[in-house]
Chain A
């Protein structure tokens, strides 16, 4: 007879649910001894349920408690540094931060649009068939290897400062924002092209056979059959990379753009706390979290439509 005694005793670490767990466990063994098998099983089951409540609720309570303990320890110094009320309620500071954040948002959106297209081009080039395309395939592979291997911050330095200094043809006299867009596109284009490539390769060759057998050309098969399926499959990893990109727009601060990070730095230097960085963090969350939920919703909707009643 399962009485879940060990689990119940352990769950006493969170007594609110641990006590009922132990009581049910004891009752289960008593009933089992009396030969009442079915009621004993029922009590054992309840002991197990309560023990699981201990895991879920108990762990959460202790973790939240731990965070609160840290926040309010040291006479609340932690809270003041990270969430200084005077700064968090300062309308002027928020306005300044928002102005900076708008730059991050712009850089993010423009970069993302370009990356979506650019990465797909790179992925398709890497998958071009035949010996004739070997050199261009190799070039695309080299690009991906190089820019996936270099930290984004270095690319931002090299492009953002170097292009201007070296008066690089066609791109010798752009704004800082534009340089950052180029740099982040180079880096994220390499990442995202690999995501696309995995998606394209995951579409079974029989789909291509079916498309080609109907007389569609190679390009048409890619465009109407392979790529639409590939993109649907990689929405989750794409999303992951784009959240990374949203956050990495903070890197533009290193070449002196007055973005949200630099503005936070100025405010902090004046007031002597770090609360402005927390404000910046909140601003990022306000964009990334709804963005994530929205894309998840889109993905669920398309799955419900293409996958029947399963």
Chain B
């Protein structure tokens, strides 16, 4: 049984049927990349997994336990599943260290000292210890996104969802964020990422899924998807990416 099981998941926003029956397994320590055009449902799928959006049909199981549908404890689920957003979404009225320690203190009940120690440890790991007392606005986009990753990690999640986390960054800031993701992958963090960074997807992922109009059209190891896609749509998508000089 897979760590994360997604079975026939459907999601509509009003008349727009965004997810049209998603099936996907993610094993522990796997890194799964979701690729596909804008609007294909990558972000929606990620947001459904930690219940930021409620699904209309199907079921999602985490570690064998149903985590979608009626009666689930969304707050408990979200302690297990961290998400990082395209637009960072740091809390602008809190210093960097407070952004990181808020949830551990208020949700897990960790003491301030302990949360702060652990937060500083994480900040040191990403080389931003000297920014701990700054407000997010003083940080560059890349630094903010690194803090956002650490903020999610501070809850010690078992699954991380990364929603196009480099799409809002200047090109020269992308690498510093991807390096952290690379480290996480090496440490065995289970991750799902929606991304347009094809090189990175190729390098880091254990499985690549191509989404098209709300279904996973093709999935497999990165070498096969990128070198020998069987679906016509995948081929067309990859050709557009190559034409744009991004692969």
Does the CB pair A306–B85 fall under 8 Å? no
Q: What is the interface residue range for chain B against chain A?
A: 20 to 34
Q: Give the nearest-CB partner of A210 in chain B.
A: B89
In the bound assembly, the distance between CA atoms of A212 and B53 in angstroms comes to 11
Contact A215:B85 (CB < 8 A) given known A220-B106, A229-B92 = no
Min C-beta distance of A306 to chain B, whole Å: 5
- Known pairs A229-B93, A306-B137; list 11 more (Cβ under 8 Å): A209-B52, A212-B74, A213-B50, A213-B78, A213-B82, A215-B78, A215-B107, A228-B93, A229-B92, A307-B135, A308-B137
In the bound assembly, the distance between CA atoms of A307 and B102 in angstroms comes to 20
Min C-beta distance of A8 to chain B, whole Å: 46
From B83, B106, B152, give the contact of A216 (CB < 8 A). Answer: B106
Does the CB pair B102–A216 fall under 8 Å? yes
Of B85, B91, B138, chain A has the most CB atoms within 10 Å of the CB of: B91
Q: What is the interface residue range for chain A against chain B?
A: 20 to 34
From B90, B103, B135, give the contact of A215 (CB < 8 A). Answer: B103
Contact A232:B103 (CB < 8 A) given known A206-B85, A210-B85 = no
Residue B155 CB within 8 A of the other chain: yes
Question: Across the interface, which residues of A come within 8 angstroms of B190, CB to CB?
Answer: none
Question: Across the interface, which residues of A come within 8 angstroms of B139, CB to CB?
Answer: 308
From A207, A214, A307, give the contact of B107 (CB < 8 A). Answer: A214
Residue A109 CB within 8 A of the other chain: no
Min C-beta distance of A78 to chain B, whole Å: 51
Contact A206:B93 (CB < 8 A) given known A213-B82, A214-B151, A224-B102 = no
Residue A240 CB within 8 A of the other chain: no
Contact A216:B91 (CB < 8 A) given known A305-B135, A308-B138 = no
Residue B12 CB within 8 A of the other chain: no
Residue B65 CB within 8 A of the other chain: no
In the bound assembly, the distance between CA atoms of A210 and B155 in angstroms comes to 13
B-contact bits for A171-209, CB 8 A (1 contact / 0 none): 000000000000000000000000000000000001101
Question: Across the interface, which residues of B come within 8 angstroms of A224, CB to CB?
Answer: 102, 106
Residue A225 CB within 8 A of the other chain: yes
Does the CB pair A306–B135 fall under 8 Å? yes
Of residues 62 to 90 in B, which have CB atoms within 8 Å of A's CB atoms?
Answer: 74-76, 78-79, 82-83, 85, 87, 89-90
Interface SS of A by simple majority: helix
Of A206, A213, A220, A306, chain B has the most CB atoms within 10 Å of the CB of: A213
In the bound assembly, the distance between CA atoms of A308 and B155 in angstroms comes to 27
Min C-beta distance of B143 to chain A, whole Å: 11
Of A211, A215, A224, A229, chain B has the most CB atoms within 10 Å of the CB of: A215
In the bound assembly, the distance between CA atoms of A220 and B137 in angstroms comes to 23
Does the CB pair B75–A215 fall under 8 Å? yes
Min C-beta distance of B107 to chain A, whole Å: 4
Min C-beta distance of B85 to chain A, whole Å: 7
Does the CB pair A216–B75 fall under 8 Å? yes
Min C-beta distance of B60 to chain A, whole Å: 16
Does the CB pair B89–A309 fall under 8 Å? no
In the bound assembly, the distance between CA atoms of A229 and B152 in angstroms comes to 21
Q: Give the nearest-CB partner of B152 in chain A.
A: A214
Min C-beta distance of B237 to chain A, whole Å: 28
From B52, B106, B135, give the contact of A212 (CB < 8 A). Answer: B52
Q: Give the nearest-CB partner of A228 in chain B.
A: B93
Q: Give the nearest-CB partner of A206 in chain B.
A: B89
In the bound assembly, the distance between CA atoms of A214 and B139 in angstroms comes to 21
Min C-beta distance of A57 to chain B, whole Å: 40
Residue A96 CB within 8 A of the other chain: no
Residue A217 CB within 8 A of the other chain: yes
From A215, A220, A225, give the contact of B91 (CB < 8 A). Answer: A225
Task: Pick 8 A–B contacts, CB within 8 A, sort by A.
Answer: A206-B85, A213-B152, A214-B78, A214-B151, A228-B93, A229-B93, A306-B137, A308-B139
Of residues 200 to 258 in A, which have CB atoms within 8 Å of B's CB atoms?
Answer: 206-207, 209-217, 220, 224-225, 228-229, 232
Question: Across the interface, which residues of A come within 8 angstroms of B91, CB to CB?
Answer: 207, 210-211, 225, 229
